[in-house]
């Protein structure tokens, strides 16, 4: 069996509390919850002659099914995002009578994945579709409980030309399209433009690089426009994005995309530079650390901006819908959105997640699940989804829709995440694929906690490298990789 696994087998002033309730939920679910040698490369099956030509995804089976086919999707969307997603599912159910979809909320990505794994281990009923983020890709492949969505693409002769190649490459492994994009996001800079004005700076020109951010922070604090400068929770995914922007891989084998990841690259110069940048923020009291792994930590960074303790914070573009929905509850705060600042002016990797097709399905259920996946990715649905939530549209044509272009003109913050995808992809063509991806993030986050507590940056970095390698090696050993 291929070491990647056999694809195809089956959220300044007194801030109103309710303004943050939605942010809190969105931060915990579907917004920013973020789980050796070369091996043979899996290949896509040959394009079949018709919709029934691929036994792994007989898309024509829906046409011959008797009565509505009932399917279940486990999703991770809450607050505004959850309301929009479930409204989309209701629209789908109302527009046709061949498929009935039950959308079941499973909590955040980690909660959903834990339930999925436990269900798989105990022999329970898996969903037909699973919504998951990038950290689970390798483990889902290794579980042999998913069907590569590329089988459905080929079986249905589905046209992918309206999806950008960079987007599709994010969800390919060894050349095979593992899952279908849907809930796409990346980190953006949230800031109070009023603080920049108070410091004599241009609110329309937020910092784009580490050096620009440091200079801006020193000016803001030096001119007493704000107590500190930037509020961050301890988030390994943000660290990963900084490596992406530097063009540095997180792990070997082209970020685990040409062969299974066996070794971390947290000892790289790009990682050293990132630890040095964070150390400068720490040593000059320009950083508010809101903690790690709790609701309070995630929402605390927004509260710091609201209470004029900090000017900047970083969050997922997937929180934009809720932020703008509650914008009137931030009196005196000029809420703005800018590009994610990094080691250089560069694009980010694609975050968010995608839809996985599981093996516990009949032919008709698999065809029905594929029909829903296609419908959710149609331009009209992507326009609705993106405009209401801040998620990035999957379709190129959706980005040109008048609804989206008008929104981007009125609220440019919605455009930022989309434009950040214009840069070069990370090494290997996408974000890292690691067996124990969450274990590697845990190592990074523990190292950052140590750094923010006063540990020497070199020692914190060495700790991250050692612990990340241990997580990778332990996982590979457990599965026989």
| 163-187 pLDDT per residue, tens | 998 899 999 998 899 999 999 999 9
Both tokens assigned to 70: 């009932």
- Is pLDDT at 391 greater than 50 in this prediction? yes
Q: What percent of the chain has pLDDT over 70?
A: 88
Task: For 179-252, list the strands marked E by DSSP.
Answer: 180-185, 187-192, 230-232
The pLDDT of residue 477: 96
Q: Which of 328, 362, 348, 339 is nearest to 423 (CA)?
A: 348
Task: Give dist(CA 456, CA 473) in Å, integer.
Answer: 26
Mean local confidence (pLDDT), 455-480: 97
The pLDDT of residue 34: 39
Identify the CATH homologous superfamily for domain 18-185+351-419: Periplasmic binding protein-like II (3.40.190.10)
Mean local confidence (pLDDT), 416-438: 91
Q: How far is CA 128 from CA 74, 154, 213, 371, in A?
A: 8, 19, 45, 12
Identify the band that residue 299 occupies on the pLDDT scale cut at 50, 70 and 90.
Answer: confident
The pLDDT of residue 112: 96
Q: What percent of the chain has pLDDT over 90?
A: 76
| 198-215 pLDDT per residue, tens | 999 999 999 999 999 999
The pLDDT of residue 330: 74
Identify the band that residue 462 occupies on the pLDDT scale cut at 50, 70 and 90.
Answer: very high
- Is pLDDT at 480 greater than 90 in this prediction? no
Name the residue ranges covered by the structural domains of the chain: 18-185+351-419, 187-349+427-479
- Is pLDDT at 29 greater than 50 in this prediction? no
Q: Does 268 or 34 have the greater pLDDT score?
A: 268
Of 116-130, 152-166, 273-287, 289-303, minimum mean pLDDT range: 289-303
- Is pLDDT at 25 greater than 80 in this prediction? no
Percentage helix, strand, coil, to 5, in the chain?
50, 15, 40
- Is pLDDT at 423 greater than 90 in this prediction? no
- Is pLDDT at 116 greater than 50 in this prediction? yes
Q: Which of 139, 148, 133 is nearest to 185 (CA)?
A: 133
Task: Give dist(CA 376, CA 51) in Å, integer.
Answer: 20
| 343-379 pLDDT per residue, tens | 988 888 999 999 999 999 999 999 999 999 999 999 9
The pLDDT of residue 33: 42
- Is pLDDT at 230 greater than 50 in this prediction? yes
Q: Does 480 or 106 have the greater pLDDT score?
A: 106
Both tokens assigned to 381: 């649905």
Identify the band that residue 155 occupies on the pLDDT scale cut at 50, 70 and 90.
Answer: very high
- Is pLDDT at 106 greater than 50 in this prediction? yes
Mean local confidence (pLDDT), 432-441: 96
Task: Give dist(CA 378, CA 397) in Å, integer.
Answer: 10
Average of per-residue pLDDT values in the chain: 88
The pLDDT of residue 296: 83
The pLDDT of residue 124: 95
- Is pLDDT at 113 greater than 70 in this prediction? yes
- Is pLDDT at 53 greater than 80 in this prediction? no
Q: Does 324 or 147 have the greater pLDDT score?
A: 147
- Look up the CATH number of domain 187-349+427-479: 3.40.190.10
């Amino acid at each position: 069996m291929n070491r990647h696994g056999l694809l195809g087998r089956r959220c300044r002033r007194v801030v109103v509390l309710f303004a943050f309730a939605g942010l809190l939920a969105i931060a915990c679910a579907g917004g920013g919850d973020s789980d050796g040698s070369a091996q043979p490369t899996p290949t896509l099956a040959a394009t079949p002659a018709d919709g029934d030509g691929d036994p792994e995804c007989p898309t024509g089976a829906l046409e011959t099914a008797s009565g509505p086919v009932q399917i279940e999707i486990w999703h991770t969307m809450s607050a505004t995002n959850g309301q929009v997603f479930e409204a989309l599912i209701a629209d789908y159910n109302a527009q046709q009578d061949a498929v009935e979809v039950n959308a079941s909320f499973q909590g955040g990505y980690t909660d959903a994945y834990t339930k999925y794994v436990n269900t798989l281990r105990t022999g329970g009923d898996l969903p037909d579709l699973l919504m998951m983020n990038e950290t689970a890709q390798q483990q889902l492949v290794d579980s042999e409980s998913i069907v590569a969505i590329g089988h459905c693409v080929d079986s249905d002769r589905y046209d992918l030309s309206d999806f950008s190649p960079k987007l599709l490459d994010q969800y390919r492994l060894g050349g095979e399209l593992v899952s279908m994009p849907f809930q796409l996001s990346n980190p953006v800079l949230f800031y109070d433009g009023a603080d920049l004005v108070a410091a004599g700076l241009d609110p329309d020109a937020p910092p784009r690089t580490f050096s620009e951010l440091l200079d801006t922070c020193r000016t803001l604090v030096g001119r007493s426009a704000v107590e500190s400068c930037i509020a961050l929770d301890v988030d390994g995914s943000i660290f990963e994005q900084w490596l992406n922007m530097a063009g540095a891989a997180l792990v070997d084998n082209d970020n685990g995309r040409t062969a299974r990841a066996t070794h971390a690259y947290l000892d790289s110069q790009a990682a050293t530079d990132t630890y040095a940048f964070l150390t400068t923020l720490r040593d000059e009291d320009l950083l508010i650390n809101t903690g790690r792994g709790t609701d309070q930590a995630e929402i605390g960074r927004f509260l710091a901006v609201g209470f004029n303790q900090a000017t900047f914070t970083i969050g997922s573009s997937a929180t934009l819908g809720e932020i703008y929905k509650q914008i009137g509850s931030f009196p005196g705060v000029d809420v703005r959105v800018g590009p994610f600042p990094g080691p250089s002016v560069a694009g980010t990797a694609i975050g968010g997640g995608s839809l996985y097709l599981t093996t516990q399905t009949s032919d008709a259920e698999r065809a029905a699940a594929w029909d829903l996946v296609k419908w959710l990715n149609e331009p009209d649905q992507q326009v609705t989804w993106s405009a209401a939530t801040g998620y990035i549209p999957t379709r190129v044509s959706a980005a040109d829709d008048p609804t989206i272009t008008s929104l981007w003109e009125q609220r440019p913050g919605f455009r930022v995440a989309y434009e950040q995808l214009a840069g070069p992809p990370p090494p290997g063509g996408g974000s890292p694929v690691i067996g124990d991806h969450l274990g590697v993030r845990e190592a990074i986050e523990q190292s950052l906690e140590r750094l923010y507590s006063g540990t020497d940056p070199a020692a914190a970095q060495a700790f991250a490298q050692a612990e990340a390698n241990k997580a990778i090696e332990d996982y590979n050993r457990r599965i026989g990789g």
